[in-house]
């Protein structure tokens, strides 16, 4: 059985549980210092939050005014739309192209009222990416007063050599905010811990609008320990690659329409009711994600699991009903 949470993190959390009577560090200092070292930044370039969702809300509360336009892709993670609505942003929705973000169309949607652009890479739920070349070209079209927020929640799973180095733009002082999380690759979703990377001029005002103790003690020490658990992280990456290598030919054999993924899940177009498939799979003890709420009523998202889990999923697909 492969652990889905870093053993080092679990050990650090158990030890820190003895200190729960003490308030957490408001600035997540040790974790920010470790992240700064990892990415070649200063700790002033980093803010931590109660999941990357929290960073999005802090960002919007800091920079979004009622009536400002927020560009968001259709058929993607819903929280971008939610935070824009909370703070009175005017939504501008842009469609996907071949199940991937269409950066050219997003650039064409810019107006004088555009304040924030939310991008997700890899895209949730399709697992597709935009490339370094595409992003470089896109950034040349973006005015200096527009914030480009790139949500890279699944970045650690990416195999493609064409994946953009968005942190390069942070180092160059561009108005780019890169979001990362410990929920996926590091297996700490229950602790709610994420972070944002941006130039100091963007991060400093966010510290003034965030809640004081937004990241708890266990999340801080668990994330710090997981960050350095190379053995666990290598195993996680390898297991995901092996899972894809097993699932792709099996899905081909079944004649299913799917997208090759740069994440830890696969988008499958069943060409029939995803909700009905979800219920049928539940009866077999398998949980999948129907993508009706994402605008894909005939598609599902299935997480890549262990060898045994992947085999069970394929066996269930072989015997519908």
- Using one digit for the tens of pLDDT, what is the confidence trace for 4-21? 899 999 999 999 999 999
The pLDDT-based confidence of 318 (bands split at 50, 70, 90) is confident
Note the pTM of the prediction, 2 decimals: 0.95
Of 12, 28, 135, 151, nearest in space to 81 by CA: 151
Return the DSSP state at 249: H
Distance (Å, whole) CA 141 – CA 164:
16
Of 19, 33, 38, nearest in space to 186 by CA: 38
Please name the residues in contact with 10: beta carbons below 8 A apart, sequence gap of 6 or more.
Answer: 222
Distances (CA, A) of 289 to 18, 83, 124, 278, 303: 37, 23, 12, 7, 9
Cis omega (within 30 of 0) for bond into 122: yes
> Using alpha carbons only, what angle is made at residue 174 by residues 159 and 203, rounded to the nearest 5 degrees?
95
Hey, what are 108's tokens?
């064409």
The pLDDT-based confidence of 319 (bands split at 50, 70, 90) is confident
- Using one digit for the tens of pLDDT, what is the confidence trace for 101-116? 999 999 999 999 999 9
Q: pLDDT at position 149, please?
A: 98
Give CA 239 to chain center in angstroms: 19
User: 128-163 in b/e burial notation, b at 16+ Cβ within 10 A?
Assistant: bbbbbebbeebbeebeeeebbbbbbbbbbbbeeeeb
- Per-residue pLDDT, averaged over 137-146, amounts to 96
DSSP letters, 265-282, are EEEEE-SS-HHHHHHHHH
Of 286, 284, 254, 287, nearest in space to 269 by CA: 254
Hey, what are 119's tokens?
């991008």
Hey, what are 169's tokens?
């733009």
Distance (Å, whole) CA 106 – CA 96:
10
- Using one digit for the tens of pLDDT, what is the confidence trace for 249-271? 999 999 999 999 999 999 999 99
- Per-residue pLDDT, averaged over 222-230, amounts to 97
Residue 290 has pLDDT above 50, yes or no: yes
> Using alpha carbons only, what angle is made at residue 203 by residues 199 and 207, rounded to the nearest 5 degrees?
165
Of 1, 4, 13, nearest in space to 191 by CA: 13
Instruction: For each of the domains in the chain, give its residue range(s) and CATH number, in order of start.
Output: 7-228 (3.40.640.10), 231-318 (3.90.1150.10)
Distance (Å, whole) CA 91 – CA 110:
12
Distance (Å, whole) CA 72 – CA 118:
5
């Amino acid at each position: 059985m492969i652990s889905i949470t870093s053993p080092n993190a679990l050990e650090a959390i158990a030890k820190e549980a003895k200190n729960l009577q003490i308030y957490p560090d408001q600035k997540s200092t040790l974790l920010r210092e470790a992240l700064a070292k990892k990415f070649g930044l200063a700790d002033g370039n980093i803010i931590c939050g109660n999941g990357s969702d929290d960073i999005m809300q802090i960002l919007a509360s800091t920079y979004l005014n009622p009536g400002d336009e927020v560009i968001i892709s259709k058929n993607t993670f819903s929280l971008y739309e939610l935070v824009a609505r909370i703070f009175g942003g005017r939504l501008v929705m842009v469609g996907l192209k071949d199940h991937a973000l269409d950066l050219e169309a997003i650039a064409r949607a810019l107006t004088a009222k555009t304040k924030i652009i939310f991008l997700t890479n890899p895209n949730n739920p399709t697992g597709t990416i935009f490339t370094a070349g595409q992003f470089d070209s896109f950034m040349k079209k973006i005015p200096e007063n527009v914030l480009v927020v790139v949500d890279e929640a699944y970045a650690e799973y990416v195999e493609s050599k064409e994946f953009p180095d968005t942190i390069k733009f942070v180092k160059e002082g561009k108005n780019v905010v890169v979001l990362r999380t410990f929920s996926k690759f590091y297996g700490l979703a229950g602790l709610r811990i994420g972070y944002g990377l941006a130039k100091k001029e963007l991060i400093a005002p966010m510290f003034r609008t965030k809640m004081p103790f937004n990241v708890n003690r266990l999340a801080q020490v668990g994330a710090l320990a997981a960050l350095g658990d190379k053995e666990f992280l290598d195993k996680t990456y390898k297991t995901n690659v092996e899972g894809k290598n097993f699932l792709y030919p099996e899905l081909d054999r079944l004649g299913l329409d799917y997208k090759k993924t740069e994440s830890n899940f696969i988008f499958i177009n069943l060409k029939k009711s995803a909700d009905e498939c979800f219920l049928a799979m539940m009866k077999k003890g398998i949980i999948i994600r129907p993508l009706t709420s994402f605008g894909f009523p005939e598609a599902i998202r299935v997480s890549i699991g262990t060898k045994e889990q992947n085999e069970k999923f394929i066996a269930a697909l072989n015997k519908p009903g």
